Amino acid sequence: MVTHFSKKRLRSVLIIVLAALVFHLCGGFLHLFARDFSEDFDYPYSGNVKFLVDQMMNGAEFTPSNYYYFKYRSNLSHICNSSVKLLFLVKSDPEHYEQRNIIRWTWGSTKQFDGNINIKTVFLIGSREYENERLTAESNTHNDILQGNFTDSYFNNTIKTMMGFKWAFEFCSKSTDYFMFVDDDYYVSPKNLLEFVKNPYIFPGRDKRVTKYSFIDLSPDKFELYAGFVFESSPFRSYFSKWYVSLKEYPYNKWPPYVTAGAYVLSRLSLIRMYYASLFMDHFRFDDIYVGILAYKLKIEPIYNENFHFHKLSYTSKGYRQLIASHGYSNPEELWSVWKDYNNYEKLIEQTGAP
């Protein structure tokens, strides 16, 4: 009788311990002890970053507390030596030769608007341990690859992104209106993107809760545009997750609202202000979260539009008429096929006058 009771009790204790262990490994306790984002969010630098940036916009100088020291294989200073309407900053893997080539022929082409609108494309990559002769030849041929002296890896995407920010600030912030950071596995419609930036509050797919913005000056020097597919989510606390974040690294229960790093667009004013803010904000290894923190500290509200597709939008000619960007084009042949088919469809629409 006693033995049976002891075994039953031991089994219950083991079940409780096992459940607690699973709860812990899945991040349950970390979620319980996370601080409330809405009540006490802060992030180093803990001072008033917006005030510092406002002062810097007026010519003040401060000593940075966070600074990315980059050396470029080539500084590509020629890219923005004339007025640029839209600059694509494409985050790419050093070995994605075919993806870069097809982007040069499709949505990243400088010739798609017959010279009426100046579009430029720069590819952002890091380095690998070995010297890559094919990459060197590609860089010398196209002169559009910005390669930094850091290891190209997933958890260095923030470094890659901030290299783009720093370079764009140094060489393009006086001549370029809009900057789109985008991964090399996206399909982009420059035509729709340029329509979107004219007034992101009326372009199809907008957040319909936002209605009264007709009085705002939407020019790239006056408007802090930060737009794409917006997320409001919480950190992954599971120890099994690729995106696990400890409470020491980030102690809050929610992220600031942020735009997925796969495709987002900034006005000139936003890029300059975010770059200044990054000089005082500690590094964070997820680039979309880091840019979201910069925006939050500057009180820049991200603008959501469903036509920035975080997941792949299956192709139909009619279905892509309002698309701005779609994820899921890692196959260069598929991107080329869709690009050709849709451009033929657009020509047919223009010839027939169909709505």
Angle separating helix axes 287-297 and 157-172, nearest 10 degrees = 50
What does the alpha-carbon distance between residue 339 and residue 102 come to, in Å, rounded to a whole number?
10
- What token pair was written down for 237? 């606390």
Q: 294 burial class (0-12, 13-18, 19+ CB within 10 angstroms)? A: buried
Cβ-based neighbours of 162, under 8 Å, separated by 6 or more: 68, 278, 290
Listed range (96-100, 132-136, 176-180, 227-231) with the worst mean pLDDT: 132-136
> For position 70, what pLDDT does the model report?
82
Complete edge-to-edge strand list for the sheet that includes strand 325-327: 186-188, 325-327, 308-309
Q: What is the mean pLDDT of residues 143-164?
A: 95
Give per-residue pLDDT as tens, 71-113.
888 899 999 999 999 999 999 999 999 999 999 999 999 887 7
What does the alpha-carbon distance between residue 229 and residue 35 come to, in Å, rounded to a whole number?
26
> For position 253, what pLDDT does the model report?
93
**Which position has the higher pLDDT, 69 or 105?**
105
What does the alpha-carbon distance between residue 229 and residue 31 come to, in Å, rounded to a whole number?
25
Task: Say if residues 189 and 323 touch (Cβ distance below 8 Å).
Answer: yes
129 band by pLDDT with thresholds 50, 70 and 90 = confident
Residue 200, H or E segment: none
Decide if pLDDT at 53 tops 80: yes
Quote the Cα angle for 269-113-81, to 5°.
50
Strands 303-304 and 325-327: unpaired
Q: What is the mean pLDDT of residues 340-353?
A: 86
Give per-residue pLDDT as tens, 163-183.
999 999 999 999 999 999 999
Residue 145, SS3? Answer: strand
- Which residue type occupies 180? M
> For position 355, what pLDDT does the model report?
62
Task: Say if residues 43 and 297 touch (Cβ distance below 8 Å).
Answer: yes
> For position 185, what pLDDT does the model report?
98
Q: What is the mean pLDDT of residues 49-57?
A: 96
Q: What is the mean pLDDT of residues 20-45?
A: 76
Residue 349, H or E segment: helix 332-352
Q: What is the mean pLDDT of residues 149-176?
A: 96
213 band by pLDDT with thresholds 50, 70 and 90 = low
> For position 318, what pLDDT does the model report?
93
> For position 25, what pLDDT does the model report?
63
> For position 344, what pLDDT does the model report?
93
DSSP 45: S
Decide if pLDDT at 214 tops 60: no
> For position 215, what pLDDT does the model report?
67
- Full-model pTM: 0.91
> For position 86, what pLDDT does the model report?
97
> For position 11, what pLDDT does the model report?
77
Give per-residue pLDDT as tens, 284-331.
999 999 999 999 999 999 999 999 999 999 999 999 999 999 999 999
DSSP states of 248-280 as a string? TT--BSSPPPEEEEEEEEEEHHHHHHHHHHHTT
Listed range (25-39, 139-153, 235-249) with the worst mean pLDDT: 25-39
Quote the Cα angle for 110-111-114, to 5°.
130
- Which residue type occupies 177? D
Q: Which residue, 156, 181, 163, 186, is CA-closest to 286?
A: 156
> For position 216, what pLDDT does the model report?
82
What does the alpha-carbon distance between residue 282 and residue 275 come to, in Å, rounded to a whole number?
13
Decide if pLDDT at 247 tops 70: yes
Angle separating helix axes 268-278 and 287-297, nearest 10 degrees = 100
- CATH code of the region 39-352: 3.90.550.50
Q: Which residue, 297, 271, 55, 54, is CA-closest to 170?
A: 271
Decide if pLDDT at 29 tops 90: no
Instruction: Express as a percent the part of the chain with pLDDT over 70.
Output: 91
- What token pair was written down for 57? 């916009």
